């Protein structure tokens, strides 16, 4: 019988690919006219094992309360969102102990390394081009204290397979000459040689095409309204176009996974956290960075993707709307211009695409992959700020679990109503 995958972002399409490879008959239902038009469209583009630390970390709840209502805060919780997400907030706070933070970061790293390998295998097997670049990632710091603290976290992750190097300002500039102008403000950097860059939208569309060639069917422009069950087993879904039968359904709808399953009384704790990216042609900016730079104190990433540059950042808890707040987009441009003063001369906002997407964030900061109490109903969602990094590995793990195979890595712990990870 057909397996339905709901959602064709990076996570849903990777799930469809691996289910098809496992010999299953797969159909994908997607409300947009093509794959990867929502959060998987304009993300920062970095495939980063270096960024696996969850946002639920020691000290974060206090910081978020201190930032309440402040328009320029790195993570802005809007008052209007609080009544809808207090339970998620409590779960988030419970995950902010040092022990849980370390466990969750290590789980993400494990999956990120599995994912990077899977992504490379898929890209070469399916011949997908997606503006891949393999120069690593440079994370820059402006105080020794913040650099030391980041190094402590990377030292812990290094025990689980993260590769990194601490570099002084001189080597920073040697690695990325575009930092020369502001080198006096830097304290140093961490360099992650194994991190990569790629266009998530291009990859996901390429993978959807490859899936279709292998027989996966895509129902674009069709919105899932509810999941149907009978006798404790899933039997299909209802869409705006009719009813589809299936005995296995995988919900990979990012932030929209929770409201869909809430209709069945199944609680999946994922809340949308809005982020912004600004993409513009590199054009005549010949001295633009060649490698992705993540600025820890100014909280943005500037990433070359093919012939474009993309700045991304901002985290705003304000519900499900995807309109980029002008003030927050302007702050990202301002911060990036501080680090790269040349940029302003080349960034013409009228030619740039200012975009916002909803990071599907779970309280533990790890994805939710597993089955629910309804037999045959699976979830693969909640990848937060790491969905491009974790998509291929998560798709592979989900397909392994669904088809009763051992994924070969430890699956992140279940959250909410995901009760088990075995078929």
Residues of this chain that interact with ligand FAD (CB under 6 A) are 6-12, 29-32, 37-40, 43-46, 223-224, 252-254, 256, 275-277, 312, 357, 359-360, 381, 383-389
CB of 91 to ligand FAD, least distance (A): 19
CB of 80 to ligand FAD, least distance (A): 20
CB of 32 to ligand FAD, least distance (A): 5
Helix H segments across 245-386?
257-262, 326-339, 343-346
CB of 38 to ligand FAD, least distance (A): 4
CB closer to ligand FAD, 102 vs 383: 383
CB closer to ligand FAD, 189 vs 224: 224
CB of 103 to ligand FAD, least distance (A): 20
CB closer to ligand FAD, 173 vs 201: 201
- The contacts found for 403-411 with CB under 8 angstroms, 24 or more apart, are 403/19, 403/22, 403/23, 403/24, 405/22, 408/114, 409/110, 409/111, 409/114, 410/107, 410/110, 411/369, 411/370
CB closer to ligand FAD, 188 vs 360: 360
CB of 253 to ligand FAD, least distance (A): 4
CB of 106 to ligand FAD, least distance (A): 17
d(CA 423, CA 401): 6
**3-class secondary-structure state, position 224:** strand
**H or E stretch including 394?**
helix 387-402
CB closer to ligand FAD, 7 vs 412: 7
CB closer to ligand FAD, 6 vs 189: 6
Q: How far is CA 362 from CA 114, 211, 267, 376, in A?
A: 20, 28, 12, 22
Q: How far is CA 338 from CA 178, 297, 331, in A?
A: 12, 11, 11
Sign of the Cα torsion 39, 40, 44, 47 reads positive
Query: Cβ–Cβ contacts within 10 Å for residue 354, how many?
Result: 18
CB closer to ligand FAD, 186 vs 260: 260
Pseudo-torsion of CA 86, 91, 94, 96, nearest 10°? -90
């Amino acid at each position: 019988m057909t397996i339905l995958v709901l959602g064709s972002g990076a996570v849903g399409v990777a799930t469809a690919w691996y289910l098809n490879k496992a010999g299953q008959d797969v159909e994908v239902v997607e409300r947009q006219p093509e794959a990867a038009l929502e959060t998987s469209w304009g993300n920062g583009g970095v495939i980063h094992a270096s960024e696996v630390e969850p946002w639920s970390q020691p000290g974060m709840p206090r910081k978020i309360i201190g930032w309440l209502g402040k328009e320029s805060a790195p993570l802005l919780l809007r008052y209007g969102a609080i009544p809808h997400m207090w339970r998620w907030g409590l779960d988030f706070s419970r995950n902010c102990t040092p022990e849980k933070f370390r466990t969750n970061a290590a789980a993400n790293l494990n999956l990120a390394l599995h994912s990077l390998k899977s992504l490379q295998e898929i890209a070469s097997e399916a011949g997908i081009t997606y503006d891949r670049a393999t120069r690593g990632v440079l994370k820059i710091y402006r105080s020794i204290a913040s650099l030391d603290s980041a190094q402590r976290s990377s030292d812990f992750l290094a025990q689980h397979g993260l590769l990194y190097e601490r570099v002084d300002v001189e080597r920073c500039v040697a690695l990325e000459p575009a930092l020369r102008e502001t080198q006096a403000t830097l304290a140093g950097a961490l360099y992650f040689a194994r991190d990569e860059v790629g266009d998530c939208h291009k990859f996901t569309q390429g993978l959807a095409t490859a899936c279709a060639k292998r027989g996966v069917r895509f129902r674009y422009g069709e919105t899932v309204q509810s999941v149907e069950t009978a006798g404790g087993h899933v039997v299909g879904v209802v869409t705006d176009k009719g009813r589809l039968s299936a005995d296995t359904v995988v919900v990979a709808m990012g932030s929209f996974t929770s409201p869909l399953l809430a209709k069945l009384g199944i609680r999946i704790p994922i809340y949308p956290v809005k982020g912004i990216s600004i993409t513009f042609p590199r054009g005549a900016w010949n001295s633009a960075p060649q490698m992705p730079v993540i600025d820890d104190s100014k909280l943005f990433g500037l990433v070359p993707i093919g012939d474009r540059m993309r700045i991304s950042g901002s985290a705003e808890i304000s519900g499900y709307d995807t309109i980029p707040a002008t003030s927050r987009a302007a702050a990202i441009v301002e911060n990036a211009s501080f680090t790269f003063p040349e940029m302003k001369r080349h960034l013409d906002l009228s030619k740039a695409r200012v975009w916002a997407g909803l990071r599907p964030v779970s309280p533990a900061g790890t994805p939710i992959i597993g089955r629910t109490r309804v037999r045959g109903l699976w979830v693969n969602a909640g990848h937060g700020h790491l969905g491009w990094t974790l998509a291929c590995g998560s798709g592979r793990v989900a397909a392994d679990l669904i088809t009763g195979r051992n994924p070969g890595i430890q699956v992140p712990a279940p959250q909410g109503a995901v009760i088990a990870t075995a078929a």
